[in-house]
Amino acid sequence: MKSSKSHAAPNIENIRLCRTAGFSIAVATLLLAIFAAPASSLRAEPENDLENINTHLTFLGYKCEKKKSEEGRLSLTCKTKQTVPDLHIQPKSGGFLISFYRLATEEGKKQEAEMLKTINQLNADAIAARFYRDSEGDMSMEAFLPGSYDKQAFSNLLSTFNEDWKRLVKEHEDDLGKLLKL
């Protein structure tokens, strides 16, 4: 049985209007998401966040020292006697860069290809950290915490960062022992 309603061809002008309206709604939604972000994700007071990070790390047994760069930016240098990395933490790009350095041995400085091969393997095996060789031939390990300090997010990142180091030292002990001052 055929329907008695006739189907008219779609009006091209109505289709253009729908597409334009759909695009406008998508743009409006994106702008709303950006500008209505929760206050906790805004980077208005990195000094307060550094103080919270300092308190967090002190509770975990780190000894932290606040430093001010020549440009006036605050950072933390935190040391521990545990088998986890000492840390340098600085506000950067709307979050916090967490760094750890290990000096290269004389062999490590001379064996650039071997050092880079090992760093590539560390990067392939790491979960939270990224490794690179600096201009002096030493190795850096870094992780980035986006946004403001959040106790749980910081705990998770720090735990994974530290576990990366302990696990990777164990897995690559022979190479790292020759290339770095562990």
CB 100 within 8 A of CB 88: yes
By the 10 Å C-beta count (0-12 exposed, 13-18 middle, 19+ buried), 125 is classed as middle
Instruction: Kindly report, residue by residue over 39-59, the tens digit of the pLDDT.
Output: 444 444 677 899 999 999 999
pLDDT for the residue numbered 9: 54
Q: Please give the single-letter amino acid code of residue 106.
A: E
Regions in the chain scoring below 50 on pLDDT: 2-6, 14-23, 26-44
CA distance 114 to 13: 65
Q: Where are the alpha helices (DSSP H) in the chain?
A: 12-35, 46-59, 106-110, 112-125, 151-171, 173-179
* Per-residue confidence (pLDDT) for residue 164, from 0 to 100: 94
How confident is the model at residue 133, as a pLDDT? 95
* Token output for 72: 């006036």
- Taken in order 46, 51, 55, 61, is the CA torsion positive or negative? positive
